[in-house]
Amino acid sequence: MKEQVEMKELKEGRYVIIDDEACVIKSIAKSKPGKHGAAKARVDAIGLFDNSKRSIVGSVATKVYVPIVERKTAQVLTITGDVVQLMDLAEFNTFEIPLPDEYKERVKEGEEVSYLTALGKIKLDLRN
């Protein structure tokens, strides 16, 4: 799910879709309008699911898409190697996602974890 906004409405720390990937905005640089043109904006962002750096440049009036990112809670059912099986605590559906190496010691069976979902992709979110 996504919605459309103008580039001038974007803010650092929010999300934007670049190359069909949900990204977190790291910086926004805006220039003043010139003699024959409109003000421009450059948005630098990092992919939410693949951590690759992306940027877009356009007029501040250019429409861009913003993903609807949801943070949900799930219970860890099983951990098998690099895959963790989760059950959503609101909808009670189960799914499997890859378990990153940096989270292997922090994720335990039976515990509750938070995860992010956007554009049909899912990622564990263990910030604390």
Question: Residue 15's domain is classified under what CATH number?
Answer: 2.30.30.30
45-98 residue pLDDT tens: 999 999 999 999 999 999 999 999 999 999 999 998 889 999 999 999 999 999
Predicted confidence (pLDDT) at residue 127 exceeds the cutoff of 80: no
Predicted confidence (pLDDT) at residue 128 exceeds the cutoff of 70: no
Q: Are residues 7 and 57 in the same domain?
A: yes
Domain carrying residue 59: 2-67
Positive or negative torsion for Cα 103, 106, 110, 116: negative
Please count the structural domains in the chain: 2
14-39 residue pLDDT tens: 999 999 999 999 999 999 888 878 89
Phi-psi region of 102 (alpha: psi -120 to 50; beta: other; left: phi over 0): alpha
Question: Residue 117's domain is classified under what CATH number?
Answer: 2.40.50.140
Q: Are residues 96 and 82 in the same domain?
A: yes
Where a domain ends, among 26, 44, 67?
Answer: 67
Q: Is the pTM of this model over 0.85?
A: no
Where a domain ends, among 18, 44, 67?
Answer: 67
53-64 residue pLDDT tens: 999 999 999 999
**β-strand pairing of 2-6 with 40-47:** unpaired
Predicted confidence (pLDDT) at residue 126 exceeds the cutoff of 90: no
